[in-house]
Amino acid sequence: MRPDRIWLRMRRDSERSPVRRFGRLIAFVCSGLGVGLAGCVGSTGVEPASSSNQPLRGSISSRGAAPHFVYSPYKHVSVALASDSGAISTAVAGAPTPIVVNGRSTLPPGVTALTLAFATGECGTETWDGMARQLATANLPGLVQAGIDYIISTGGEAGVFTCTTDAGMEAFIARYVSPRLIGFDFDIERGQSAEIVASLVRRIKAAKERHPELRFSFTLATWGASDGSLASLNDDGQRVMQAIRAAGLTDYYINLMVMDYGEAIPRNCVVASAVCDMGQSAIQAARNLNSRFGVPMSRIELTPMIGVNDVVANVFTLEDAQVLARFARESAMGGVHFWSLDRDAACPAGVSGVSSTCSGLTGVPGFGFTTAFRDALR
């Protein structure tokens, strides 16, 4: 999902405030439910179909505990959404195609999970980009039947997700529960107050205690500073870390948005040939978070924006994808995602600038990044 460039003003007005990124993730990532949540209603109740896809290590096989590692491209649900059926679809291969057709996944073989973005508003009464919550009713049974695991992402650059009561959080979780639910991701990048963030984190902590099988993550903007400063999270991210400490939350993941670093200078990124080296900058961002905030590598996830970023001088290539994925695998990190599945296609003639439906790169086939990450993570 495209950000609205608010970060350009924020970067000028706030000292070293990392660029705000796409409105997508949220960071509450729960993991594959083996059984229904106590008191939950609206469960799909659909048994997953057998699939020839071989999941990456750490994927949920069918039921059980949360996976340590998750590879799940972001799917912006409103892009290419079928207007008649409400089926989540993508046009990467040309014409819009549902993610599930006749009970089978249309994703590339071996890609068995998606992060669905974005739920916004108050927990329990949330909407999806202004669309009704019935989105879940329309799509979750198909995902379960096709054997596709999923994360529900909230917030993002263009929206805010709040949660003021435990009852609201329970209703929110219950709506999306199925044997294929991995968890919830909370993308916090709209300048939410310390009070709003603290309330959300308290609800997450209580939910984690009630549902230990679920995986929770926070998606945060970052720098990849290579000047020795260890510059990492902006004010939003630091409020999240403070709220996590205050609440005593211990079982969580931090998903870094490794994108949109800005000017190619060492205080922002790793510089090579006068540009930000996007693969090495992602690695540096992970190391900075680990060193400055003490988050173990096993609890850090990375999410690049493939192709041309909103800062158009920041370009994430297939080679960067391979570098990032190898590092994540060798460092036993918590996960890799990317923004977004719908952008994993070459732009048609006449399209310029940053697009929500193509990467801005030439010579990269449809699903080129999807499969490059998959292969390098094996």
Q: pTM of the prediction?
A: 0.86
Beta bridge partners of 154: 119, 186
Burial class (CB in 10 A: 0-12, 13-18, 19+), 15: exposed
Domains of the chain: 6-377 (3.20.20.80)
Peptide bond between residue 61 and the one before it cis (omega within 30 degrees of 0): no
Instruction: Say which amino acid occupies 341.
Output: L
pLDDT of residue 33: 27
Where are the extended beta strands (E) located within the chain?
A: 70-71, 74-76, 89-90, 97-98, 100-101, 104-105, 113-122, 127-128, 149-155, 161-162, 181-187, 215-221, 253-258, 271-272, 275-276, 300-304, 307-308, 315-316, 335-336
Quote the CA–CA distance of 17 and 231 in Å, as a whole number: 10
Please tell me the predicted confidence (pLDDT) of residue 135: 75
Closest CA to 342 of 54, 71, 141, 81: 81
Residue 97 has phi, psi (to 5 degrees) of: -130, 130
The CA-CA-CA angle for residues 93, 98, 101, to 5°, reads 110
> How far apart are alpha carbons 197 and 192 in whole angstroms?
6
Q: Please state, in angstroms and rounded to a whole number, the distance separating the CA atoms of residues 70 and 130.
A: 28
Q: What is the DSSP string of 49-78?
A: PP-S--PPTT---SSSSPPS-EE--EEETT
Is-contact 77 1, C-beta < 8 A? no
Residue type, 199: S
Is the separation of the CB atoms in 141 and 87 below 8 Å? no
> Can you give the pLDDT at residue 136?
72
Residue 208 in 3-state DSSP? helix
pLDDT by residue for the chain (378 residues), tens digit each? 333 334 333 433 343 444 334 433 333 333 332 222 223 333 443 333 333 344 453 343 344 677 899 999 999 999 999 988 899 999 999 999 999 999 999 999 999 999 999 999 999 999 998 888 777 778 999 999 999 999 999 999 899 999 999 999 999 999 999 999 999 999 999 999 999 999 999 999 999 999 999 999 999 999 999 999 999 999 999 999 999 999 999 999 999 999 999 999 999 999 999 999 999 999 999 999 999 999 999 999 999 999 999 999 999 999 999 999 999 999 999 999 999 999 999 998 888 779 999 999 988 999 999 999 999 999
pLDDT at 222: 98
What is the C-alpha to C-alpha distance for residues 273 and 276, in angstroms, rounded to an integer? 8
pLDDT score recorded for residue 349: 85
Angle at 51 between CA 370 and CA 98, to 5 degrees: 55
* DSSP summary character for residue 131: B
Predicted local confidence at residue 32, as pLDDT = 32
Give the residues across from 218 on adjacent strands: 186, 254
Are 7 and 19 a contacting pair, CB within 8 Å?
Answer: yes
